[in-house]
Amino acid sequence: MRFLIALALLLGFPVAALAGTVSSPDGRISVTLDADGEGIPYYSVSRDGKPLLAKSNLGFNFTDADPMRRNFEVVTEDSTSVDTRWEQPWGERRIVADRHEELAVTFRQRDAAARMITVRMRVFDDGIGFRAEFPEQASMKVANIADELTEFNLAQGGQALWIPAGDWNRYEYLYSMTPVDAVSTAHTPITMVLEDGTHLSFHEAALVDYAGMWLRRLDGTRFRSQLAPSSRGAKVVREGAFTTPWRTVLIGDGPKALVESNISLNLNEPNKLGDVSWFTPHKYIGIWWEMHLENSSWASGEKHGATTGNAKKHIDFAAKHGFRGVLIEGWNKGWDGTWFGNGREFSFTEAYPDFDLEEVTRYAAKKGVRIIGHHETGGNLGVYEAQLEEAMALYARLGVDAVKSGYVADAGGLIAPGPDGKDVFEWHDGQRAVQHHLEVVKTAARYKIAVNPHEPVKDTGLRRTYPNWVSREGARGMEYQAWGVPANLPDHVPNLIYTRMLSGPMDYTPGVLSLKGRGGRDLPSTLARQLALYVVLYSPIQMAADLPEELEKYPRELAFISQVPADWAESLLLDGEVGKFALFARKDRNSDAWYVGGVTDSDAREMAVDFGFLDQGRKYRATIYRDGADADGLADTRHQIAIETRTVTAGDVMTIRAAKAGGFAIAIVPVGR
């Protein structure tokens, strides 16, 4: 092949179509994948002929073998084209298009071991994904990976929106917007707006039996992968043939390309669970916010929140207002000590004496409501794994078909049984945790149970393969608004939209209509913004987080929350700016209704809603929930809301003002036919 390329160049033939280079279907993105003069495998990316990622090296270090870094030669190059569509059982859109060009280059190291590696590169119109594939090879039966040497060498600077990796609070930080060359070590997704306006977001897809990837800035605008640590030393241990997760770069002219990208899902394997119609996207309430307010406790005793009586009160509320689910935290034994980062006392099958699980689930069934189970582990993987089968079997027997789990432990503080049975400590995104989560998801699937882990590993699109992995936390959620340590700032939601939310659904738990946290602290939000959150933050399970008695004080807003779908046929970012604001339109999966949601940061701003997404020639009734004229999410007027109804058609454009820390929501229902 080398010889052919040289010959083609000599004869003046164009070489772009030859292997070694691969372009996106629209031709705008072009990727080179090759080995340099020292035999270092590398790739580079250009867009519209302009360098985007300059030469970026690829390789691996091992704890017990020579590095795979230099002295490689290319042995084979294969290209394929894919243009297909597939359907999501639930999601932010029903039909997903997968259109990409692929180039797979196999490299062989020029030494006695002659180890091989294939780098598979897929180029879409909205970005790239590539992974390394290790064949089964006698010279390396077990790969003990010390670190992965994948570089992302940006050809220009810009601004980056990111949170730090490798520190104590997992993924739960406020985001920083800094120059690209001021990033230290970041979690992915990390999103950048380059000097020329190009938008990029770096992440990974299909993180299976491997360590999560952090991005460490080496110098200037050059980044390198750094894998999450492991107690074993080697960050990844794999036997035989295996592949790394896909390293992804979303690329667009603006934020729309990033937000609407399907690259992460497309790089995951198709559904392995078959028919998953047993999972129904839904909304839920819970015995939850009251604990975060410290009105009640997870622990047993006088303040115990999860009593049979309190559960029934919540079930009654859910039945009355059309919520399918009631989450109950703190019903099981183990909360009475230092469970945080410990979890040794948790039982996932035994209830406290004042909680009757059989009676509560029976009562719920009678009312047409489902209990959502809870498995807080305190970060103790071993204690949970030992009870996993029994715990899921119990819930399944009682009709509990969704479980929220929790891994409350400082980063690096997950507990797992080591090789000699003694505890070892792991990271929330290390290989051990990655293995654990998938084991839980697969076990839950056997019992037709959906899972929603908090303090999880990041989302890498595995919901495509395991559609019972429905949501997760993995960022600062609403609970910080209760604690105020500090509270999430008004730009946090726009920041999430352009970073964390690019990875997949989040159980943010919106719907605190009282706008009050612990001790009566005011939330930095308007009332209308709470409704907007159901549209702008996608999750197939959405909580109405506030206390039932508070929710009932806002009947019109509560009616919106019961009505807003949690499953969509299509999702569009109509307008937005990274870290500042976002305006979404989403079409209901089960009707012809559309919903619009807009959120801003701490600046009030006007957003123009162009209804061009509606069916031409059709009339719709739009109910608009917007900030009142004097509303201010950062002042005493935060509850001021204006609710009005108008007729709209595809030709209309409506300008709506969002207050500081404000937002709006619109329910758009077709009128007649």
Instruction: Report the alpha-carbon distance of residue 406 to residue 484 in Å, rounded.
Output: 20
Question: Which parts of 319-358 interact with ligand NOJ (CB under 6 A)?
Answer: 329
Task: Give the one entry of Ca ion, ligand NOJ, none that residue 376 binds, where binding means its C-beta sits below a cut-off of 5 to 8 angstroms depending on kind.
Answer: ligand NOJ
Q: For ligand NOJ, give the closer residue by CB, 376 or 491.
A: 376
Question: CB atoms < 10 A from the CB of 73, how many?
Answer: 13
Q: b/e for 499-526, b at 16 or more Cβ within 10 A?
A: bbbbbbbbbbbbbbbbbbbeeeebbbbb
Q: Which of 252, 406, 517, 524 binds ligand NOJ (CB under 6 A)?
A: 406
Site for ligand NOJ contains 454 (CB under 6 A)? yes
Site for ligand NOJ contains 461 (CB under 6 A)? no
Structure tokens at 423: 């505890």
DSSP 584-646: EEEEESSSS-EEEEEEE-SS-EEEEEEGGGSPTT--EEEEEEEE-TT--TTSTTTT-EEEEEE
Q: Which of 147, 473, 546, 567 binds ligand NOJ (CB under 6 A)?
A: 473
Is residue 558 a contact partner of residue 545, using CB atoms and an 8 Å limit? Answer: no
Q: For ligand NOJ, give the closer residue by CB, 148 or 473.
A: 473
Reply yes or no on whether 479 is catalytic: yes
Instruction: Report the alpha-carbon distance of residue 667 to residue 662 in Å, rounded.
Output: 17
Size of the site for Ca ion (CB under 5 A): 1
Site for ligand NOJ contains 408 (CB under 6 A)? yes
Distances, alpha carbon 619 to alpha carbons 418, 563, 596, 609, 647, in Å: 64, 20, 16, 16, 7
Query: Minimum Å distance from CB 330 to ligand NOJ?
Result: 8
Query: Minimum Å distance from CB 444 to ligand NOJ?
Result: 17
DSSP 83-110: EEEEE-SSSS-SEEEEEEEEEEEEEEES
Residue 638 neighbours by CB under 8 Å, 6+ apart: 515, 522, 523, 525, 526, 527, 631, 632, 661
Query: Minimum Å distance from CB 473 to ligand NOJ?
Result: 5
Q: For ligand NOJ, give the closer residue by CB, 459 or 588.
A: 459
Query: Minimum Å distance from CB 374 to ligand NOJ?
Result: 7
Site for ligand NOJ contains 299 (CB under 6 A)? no
Query: Minimum Å distance from CB 473 to Ca ion?
Result: 5
Query: Minimum Å distance from CB 560 to ligand NOJ?
Result: 23
Site for Ca ion contains 454 (CB under 5 A)? yes
Q: Is residue 394 classed as helix, strand or coil in its secondary structure? A: helix
Site for ligand NOJ contains 546 (CB under 6 A)? no
Site for Ca ion contains 472 (CB under 5 A)? no
Task: Give the one entry of ligand NOJ, Ca ion, none that residue 329 binds, where binding means its C-beta sits below a cut-off of 5 to 8 angstroms depending on kind.
Answer: ligand NOJ
Q: In this chain, which residue has its C-beta nearest to Ca ion?
A: 454
State phi, psi for 396 to the nearest 5 degrees.
-60, -40
Task: Give the one entry of ligand NOJ, Ca ion, none that residue 550 binds, where binding means its C-beta sits below a cut-off of 5 to 8 angstroms depending on kind.
Answer: none
Task: Give the one entry of ligand NOJ, Ca ion, none that residue 586 binds, where binding means its C-beta sits below a cut-off of 5 to 8 angstroms depending on kind.
Answer: none
Q: Is residue 571 classed as helix, strand or coil in its secondary structure? A: strand
Q: Is residue 513 classed as helix, strand or coil in its secondary structure? A: coil
User: Can the peptide bond before residue 486 be classed as cis, meaning omega within 30 degrees of 0?
Assistant: yes
Size of the site for ligand NOJ (CB under 6 A): 8
Q: For Ca ion, give the closer residue by CB, 225 or 495.
A: 495
Mask for 272-291, x = binds ligand NOJ (CB under 6 A):
----------------x---
Question: Which parts of 476-515 interact with ligand NOJ (CB under 6 A)?
Answer: 479
Q: For ligand NOJ, give the closer residue by CB, 388 or 622.
A: 388
In 3D space, the residue among 475, 600, 472 whose CA is nearest the CA of residue 540 turns out to be 472
Query: Minimum Å distance from CB 295 to Ca ion?
Result: 19
Query: Minimum Å distance from CB 569 to ligand NOJ?
Result: 30
Instruction: Report the alpha-carbon distance of residue 333 to residue 346 in Å, rounded.
Output: 6
Distances, alpha carbon 148 to alpha carbons 69, 136, 205, 236, 645, in Å: 10, 19, 16, 9, 56
Catalytic residue of the set 92, 329, 479, 550: 479
Is residue 251 a contact partner of residue 52, using CB atoms and an 8 Å limit? Answer: yes
Kindly list the catalytic residues: 479
Residues in touch with Ca ion (CB under 5 A): 454
Residues in touch with ligand NOJ (CB under 6 A): 288, 329, 376, 406, 408, 454, 473, 479
